[in-house]
Amino acid sequence: MNNVKDKMLFIDPAVGMKPPPFTHDPLKALVVPRPIGWISSMSAAGVVNLAPFSYFNLVSGDPPCVIYCPTGDHADGGAKDSLLNVQETGEFVCVLANYALREQMVLTSKHVPRNVDEMALAGLTPVPSVKVKPPRVGESPAALECVFRQTIELPPGRRPERNYIVMGEIVGIHVSEEIVVDGKVDVRRMRPVARLGYDEYAVIDDVFAMPRPD
Ligand SMILES: Cc1cc2nc3c(=O)[nH]c(=O)nc-3n(C[C@H](O)[C@H](O)[C@H](O)COP(=O)(O)O)c2cc1C
């Protein structure tokens, strides 16, 4: 390989995220695509909360674990519902959004008062989970029932708000028969949406396989 890039731009987050020629913070456009965990949780009073998180990923298959990161505060002040509820009740469901649900997914990120059920707001169907109390979204082709295991606070950022990693263990996996072909999940049938930078998204429609060298 001899295509070494010799005109690199360097950004020091401690100095600023938009040095010339940038007009927008490029970081979230670089680490892409980010899967979206659509987190369904429930307060102790039984109010459902649904919100998308692209600081989200599967971090282990055995034990099966996911993380998501509530960053910043709720518009009314204090931590976001997706953090408070999970710390309060110890459970959440990570719904996987696909292209058909993209508008509803974005709608559920709306800043609404704490007692508003975003699943109802978006006209989605709550379907009871098997092992946890928060419902899954009936229209979604896949969902992961999770038990809350740990919160990690991130180092202080440029804003005064606090930021967290929430880690959960998957205790139940729902997969629609519609996306299973020959014993495998067919990602072309699932059509997951992923977050890119700015207000851009991607849909997975095209895949290629590469066997490992050994
Ligand atoms: C595609 C998408 C991804 C998002 N990812 C995150 C995220 O990773 N972390 C976060 O704190 N907020 C994220 N948001 C914003 C939250 O969804 C929004 O703040 C929501 O109201 C969560 O608050 P709640 O838990 O109080 O309902 C994202 C929004 C969208 C549309």
- Domain with 45, as residue range(s), is 27-203
Side chain identity at residue 67, one-letter code: I
Token pair listed for 201:
């998204």
Using a 6 Å cutoff on CB, does residue 52 contact ligand 1? yes
Given a cut of 80, is residue 88 above it in pLDDT? yes
Distance 53 CA to ligand 1 centre (A): 5
Give the pLDDT confidence score for residue 214 in this predicted structure: 87
Q: Which atom of ligand 1 is nearest to the CA of 84?
A: 25
The verdict on residue 13 lying in a domain is no
Average pLDDT over residues 115-119: 95
The verdict on residue 22 lying in a domain is no
Number of domains composing the chain: 1
Asked if 40 and 134 count as a contact pair (C-beta separation under 8 A), the reply is: yes
The verdict on residue 160 lying in a domain is yes
Give the pLDDT confidence score for residue 1 in this predicted structure: 73
The DSSP line for 144-204 is EEEEEEEEEEPPP-SSSS-BEEEEEEEEEEEE-GGGEETTEE-HHHH-BEEE-STT-EEE-
Q: From atom 19 of ligand 1, which residue's Cα is the shortest distance away?
A: 109
Look at residues 47, 36, 42, 54 and name the one whose alpha carbon lies nearest to residue 101. Answer: 36
Give the Cβ contact number of residue 142 at 10 Å: 19
Q: From atom 14 of ligand 1, which residue's Cα is the shortest distance away?
A: 53
The verdict on residue 3 lying in a domain is no
The verdict on residue 17 lying in a domain is no
The verdict on residue 1 lying in a domain is no
Give the pLDDT confidence score for residue 2 in this predicted structure: 83
Share of the chain above pLDDT 70, in %: 100
Look at residues 168, 167, 107 and name the one whose alpha carbon lies nearest to residue 137. Answer: 107
Using a 6 Å cutoff on CB, does residue 85 contact ligand 1? no
Using a 6 Å cutoff on CB, does residue 129 contact ligand 1? no
Task: Report the mean per-residue pLDDT for the chain.
Answer: 96
Distance 3 CA to ligand 1 centre (A): 38
Q: From atom 22 of ligand 1, which residue's Cα is the shortest distance away?
A: 51
Token pair listed for 154:
């991130």
Give the pLDDT confidence score for residue 159 in this predicted structure: 87
pLDDT digit string (tens) for 129-186? 999 999 999 999 999 999 999 999 999 988 899 999 999 999 999 999 999 999 999 9
Q: Which atom of ligand 1 is nearest to the CA of 111?
A: 21
CATH number reported for the structural domain that contains residue 107 in this entry? 2.30.110.10
Give the pLDDT confidence score for residue 167 in this predicted structure: 98
Which residues have a Cβ under 8 Å from the Cβ of 38 and sit 6 or more positions away?
Answer: 50, 51, 52, 53, 94, 95, 96, 97, 105, 108, 137, 140
Average pLDDT over residues 1-23: 93
Distance 37 CA to ligand 1 centre (A): 10
Look at residues 150, 133, 144, 149 and name the one whose alpha carbon lies nearest to residue 38. Answer: 144
Give the pLDDT confidence score for residue 8 in this predicted structure: 96
The verdict on residue 210 lying in a domain is no
**What is the 8-class DSSP label of residue 77?**
S
Under the banding of pLDDT at 50, 70 and 90, the label for residue 87 is very high
Q: From atom 23 of ligand 1, which residue's Cα is the shortest distance away?
A: 80
The verdict on residue 21 lying in a domain is no
Using a 6 Å cutoff on CB, does residue 111 contact ligand 1? yes
Taking the C-alpha atoms of residue 119 and residue 91, their distance in angstroms, rounded to an integer, is 17
Token pair listed for 62:
């055995």
Element (H, E) at 48: strand 48-53
Give the pLDDT confidence score for residue 48 in this predicted structure: 97
Give the pLDDT confidence score for residue 127 in this predicted structure: 98
Distance 162 CA to ligand 1 centre (A): 14
